[in-house]
Chains A and B, each alone.
Chain A
Amino acid sequence: GAVVSQHPSWVICKSGTSVKIECRSLDFQATTMFWYRQFPKQSLMLMATSNEGSKATYEQGVEKDKFLINHASLTLSTLTVTSAHPEDSSFYICSARADSYTIYFGEGSWLTVV
């Protein structure tokens, strides 16, 4: 079946640096992808909607300059956490919409900022 792949699965970075997480739809084209953040023992919080060829739409309270989203192709969206700080440490999950009623999730990416 369709698969959404995230890379890296886990990453450790130093405070102040930037880190990029990729989300790929492997066997379908996704004009829309979504990025979520999940803290331990909490739900998935929608951060932004990534639209191929246009700017991402961010949810209220999410800093667009800190969480840069690029959806340059129909199979790839990237999330860049800029000037990362320890409070940005979290589990980041992407999903890709295959059709009106089908959304596939990636396996998530663990970010630890030290």
Chain B
Amino acid sequence: GESVGLHLPTLSVQEGDNSIINCAYSNSASDYFIWYKQESGKGPQFIIDIRSNMDKRQGQRVTVLLNKTVKHLSLQIAATQPGDSAVYFCAERGGYNKLIFGAGTRLAVHP
């Protein structure tokens, strides 16, 4: 398999603060990237995506930044809410349209 992490790093933030979750991807040829949110016991939920010809894309309360030079992706969540608590994964689309997931980050939002 690929991109299997042994431990999920945790980002703890206060409710109302902004959160930044980072991801390093592996394949410089990947042309499409997605951020997913996964709640306990559920499948991944699409948050936002970005194509490789862009370096920034904004959604509602979320922004994705792509730095192809260093193969880095970040997800910014504005005014983080308790409902944002989950595990966040970045995924890159490589050969044969396969989505390969990063190790994931657990976001814990405290009141």
- With an 8 Å Cβ cutoff, the count of chain B residues facing the other chain is 29
Q: How many A-B residue pairs have CB under 8 A?
A: 68
Nearest residue in A to B6 (C-beta to C-beta)?
Answer: A42
Chain A: interface size category: 20 to 34
* Interface positions of A from 40 to 65, Cβ below 8 Å from B: 41-47, 49, 57, 59-62
CB-CB contacts of B43-86 with A at 8 A, as 1s and 0s?
Answer: 11110010100000000000000000000000000000000000
**Apart from A42-B6, A49-B96, A107-B42: 4 A-B pairs, beta carbons within 8 A:** A46-B2, A46-B98, A91-B41, A105-B36
Contact residues of A with B, CB < 8 Å?
6, 32, 34, 36-37, 39, 41-47, 49, 57, 59-62, 91, 93, 95, 97, 100-101, 103, 105-108, 110
